[in-house]
Amino acid sequence: MPEDAPYAYEVEGLYKHYAGTPEPANADISFRIRQGEFFGLLGSNGAGKTSLVKQMIGLVRPDGGTVRLLGRDVFTHPRFTTVNVGYMPQTAFALNSLTVREAVYFSAHLRGMASRATAKRERDAVLELLGLGHLAGKVARQLSGGERRLLQIAVTLTASPPVLILDEPTNELDPSRRRQVWQLLRDLNQRDGRTIILITHNAIEAEQVIERVGILKAGRLVALGAPAELKASLRSQVHLSITLDDTQPLGLLPDYVHVQSQHRGRVVALVDAADLPHLTKDVNLAQFPEFTMHTATLEDVYVSYA
């Protein structure tokens, strides 16, 4: 993504407080996403991600602030927003009684592929892209959870909207399908220049594709930046994972190893980077059945803010 690319989204001072709730769903949220960027939105349940996204696509009106998509206010240009954003919610698939073929066709047509022949061509291309061709005649509700998720992605991709907002796209997918989806999203971003906004809990997988991330906590944007920048803030700590055998007590580990969790001999701990040289001197690490060490991941960043 070129650094001087125009903005896909400009969110300024967004505030939303639902009646009857003690805390605002979103408070003072401001950020910008450039066209062609792969942006991740992380946050625990109830952090305000869905509320934010619904305002970004104009489904929910904010109590304060503005949202601009490709330079236009989403609330005063609803049609422009719907034509330019493909949104995949995390909720159940709305077209469950249609066959895969019908669901993709109607979505393509309703998204503005005016001629039925064009919509049919688009349907066939998208089914091919997602490897759903063999399921074309099957009713959506009869699909497995993972197949239905792929169908939701297919429906979202129809008519090639330049901005995609995907809420947990790899939920319920098996590992090979997950890889397929990440590769597809990478291609759509890099080859076609699509702006992709990914809402996910799966920070480890997301880290492989996103360029920048925003972390929400209690309705506020608590971190924003490239994964490497955010990880740098935790770089002073090293993560250890050690498996102890039955004869090895936890006391083998020096005091400066801060144990985070322990279950059936498997210990997860943090060590200050400065103490690392001491650790290799004080403990014979080769005595443990398993020992791994790594610097902070995006998931560690996410957990540190959660």
Partner 1 sequence: MSATRDEKLGLGLASQVWDLFHIQLTNWRWSWPQMVLTGMLAPLVSIAALGLFARNSGHGATEYVLTGSVTMAILFETQNKIASNFAFMRGNGAFEYYAALPVRREALILATLGAFSLLSLPAVAVTLLLGSALLDVPLSFSPLAPVALVLALLPSAGLGAFIGSRSATIEQASSLSLATTLLMMAAGPVAVPPELLPDALTWIGHANPAVYASDSLRHSLTSPSPTSALSDMAVLAAFSLAVWVLTSTRMHWRARYGRRAAGQDQRAHLTEGRHT
Q: For partner 1, which is the closer residue by CB, 18 or 285?
A: 18
Of the candidates 26, 51, 195, 202, which one interacts with partner 1 according to CB under 8 A? 195
The residues in 122-161 that bind partner 1, with binding defined as CB under 8 A, are: 159-161
13 contributes a contact to partner 1 by CB under 8 A: no
DSSP string, 199-210: EES-HHHHTTT-
- Segment interacting with partner 1 (CB under 8 A) among 129-137, 171-179, 186-194, 292-300: 186-194
- Segment interacting with partner 1 (CB under 8 A) among 102-110, 216-224, 264-272, 277-285: 102-110
Give the sheet arrangement for strand 212-217, strand by strand.
85-88, 163-167, 195-200, 38-43, 212-217, 220-225
DSSP 54: H
Nearest 10 degrees: Cα torsion 173, 176, 177, 182: 110
Question: In a 3-state reduction of DSSP, which class is residue 101?
Answer: helix
Give min distance, CB of 113 to partner 1, in A. 9
Q: For partner 1, which is the closer residue by CB, 49 or 111?
A: 111
Q: How many chain residues bind partner 1 (CB under 8 A)? A: 48
The residues in 73-92 that bind partner 1, with binding defined as CB under 8 A, are: 73, 75-80, 82-85, 87, 89, 91-92
33 contributes a contact to partner 1 by CB under 8 A: no
The residues in 44-63 that bind partner 1, with binding defined as CB under 8 A, are: 55, 57-61
299: left (phi over 0), alpha (psi -120 to 50) or beta: alpha
Q: Are 256 and 300 in contact (CB under 8 A)?
A: no
Question: In a 3-state reduction of DSSP, which class is residue 266?
Answer: strand
Give min distance, CB of 124 to partner 1, in A. 18
Give min distance, CB of 114 to partner 1, in A. 6
Q: For partner 1, which is the closer residue by CB, 102 or 299?
A: 102
Give min distance, CB of 274 to partner 1, in A. 45
Cα(first)–Cα(last) distance of the chain, in Å?
29
Task: Please choose, from the candidates 301, 303, 240, the residue with its C-alpha nearest in 3D space to the C-alpha of residue 267.
Answer: 240
Distance CA 76, CA 114 (A): 24
Q: Which two tokens stand for residue 78?
A: 């609803």
Q: Are 235 and 301 in contact (CB under 8 A)?
A: no
Q: For partner 1, which is the closer residue by CB, 129 or 252?
A: 129
27 contributes a contact to partner 1 by CB under 8 A: no
Query: What contacts 23, CB < 8 A, 6 or more positions away?
Result: 17, 218, 219
Q: For partner 1, which is the closer residue by CB, 192 or 245?
A: 192
Give min distance, CB of 173 to partner 1, in A. 19
Query: What contacts 50, CB < 8 A, 6 or more positions away?
Result: 89, 90, 167, 199
Distance CA 163, CA 87 (A): 9
171 contributes a contact to partner 1 by CB under 8 A: no
Q: Where does this chain bind partner 1 (CB under 8 A)?
A: 5, 35-36, 55, 57-61, 70, 72-73, 75-80, 82-85, 87, 89, 91-98, 102, 106-107, 109-112, 114, 159-162, 192-195
